Amino acid sequence: MGQRTSGIGMISRRSSATGYRWVIPGSLAIAMLLTVLPYPDWMLFAVPNWVTLVLFYWCLATPKKVGVGSGWITGILVDLLLHTLFGLHAITKAFVAMIAVTAHRRLRMYHLWQQCIIVFIISAVEIAFVNWVFHLTNDVDMRLIFWQSALTSALVWPVVYTILRYARQQSGIAEDR
């Protein structure tokens, strides 16, 4: 899914094509699975934004393979999964991908905790947008409680980052320059 969108990602390394092909969509699929786990009620507003985190990582590490297009397709799949309006999460995921791809060099220079702040801001914007669209279409109140999810996303970012970097190195996917 990821490599097709930019086409030029093939030059980096072709030695272990099998891992390279499955790790990226696989990790996104796991993130979607984590999204629909039956969480207890008190956690409902504090579930980390798994898909955004994983997408953000791949856009940082391999912006030539995973970009706005893959982000958009991921978002459409999330819309299907959560039965939300078609295109709602597609917009937000494309947005996340755009930020990460255009600023990937600068973002990589940051400390992990600085990246956490960026993750917090990005997921807060995303949640605010989703909440706003829900407000327009379903007459739902705008409530501040939804920001909990942005906070937990930022808190689990170091873990997600470490795991995905390990998975990337193991499967021989090189960082794009």
Partner 1 sequence: MNLLQISTLYRFLFLILLSVGLMIVDHRSDNLRAVRSMASLLTLPFHAVGELPGSVVTKVRSYYPDDSVYRELEELRKKQLKLESHLQRYDALVAENSRLSRLLAAAQRSEDQVILASIVNTGLDPYSHRILINRGAESGVFIGQPVIAPDGVLGQVSEVNLNQSVVTLVTDRSHGIPVQVQRNGLRTIVQGQGATDEVGVPYLPRLADIRKGDILVTSGMGGRFPAGYKVAEVVEIITDANAAFLSINARTTARIDFVKQVLLVWDNERLASE
Binding residues (CB under 8 A) for partner 1: these are: 6, 29, 32-33, 36-39, 41, 44-45, 47, 63-64, 67-69, 72, 75, 77, 80-88, 90-91, 94-95, 97-98, 101-102, 130-131, 133-134, 137-141, 146, 177
Contact 146, 43 (CB under 8 A): no
Residue carrying the six token digits 């030695």: 15
Largest CA distance in the chain: 53
Q: Which is nearer to partner 1, 74 or 115 (CB)?
A: 74
Please, what is the minimum distance in Å from the beta carbon of residue 154 to partner 1?
Answer: 18
Q: Measure the CA–CA gap between 70 and 26, rounded to whole angstroms.
A: 13
Please, what is the minimum distance in Å from the beta carbon of residue 33 to partner 1?
Answer: 6
Contact 56, 116 (CB under 8 A): no
DSSP 63-92: TTTS-HHHHHHHHHHHHHHHT--TTHHHHH
Please, what is the minimum distance in Å from the beta carbon of residue 113 to partner 1?
Answer: 26
Q: Which is nearer to partner 1, 88 or 154 (CB)?
A: 88
Q: Which is nearer to partner 1, 13 or 105 (CB)?
A: 105
* Residues contacting 24, CB < 8 A, separation 6+: 1, 2, 58, 62, 65, 66, 173
Contact 16, 171 (CB under 8 A): yes
Q: Measure the CA–CA gap between 34 and 40, rounded to whole angstroms.
A: 13
Q: Which is nearer to partner 1, 14 or 177 (CB)?
A: 177
Q: Which is nearer to partner 1, 2 or 67 (CB)?
A: 67
Please, what is the minimum distance in Å from the beta carbon of residue 125 to partner 1?
Answer: 14
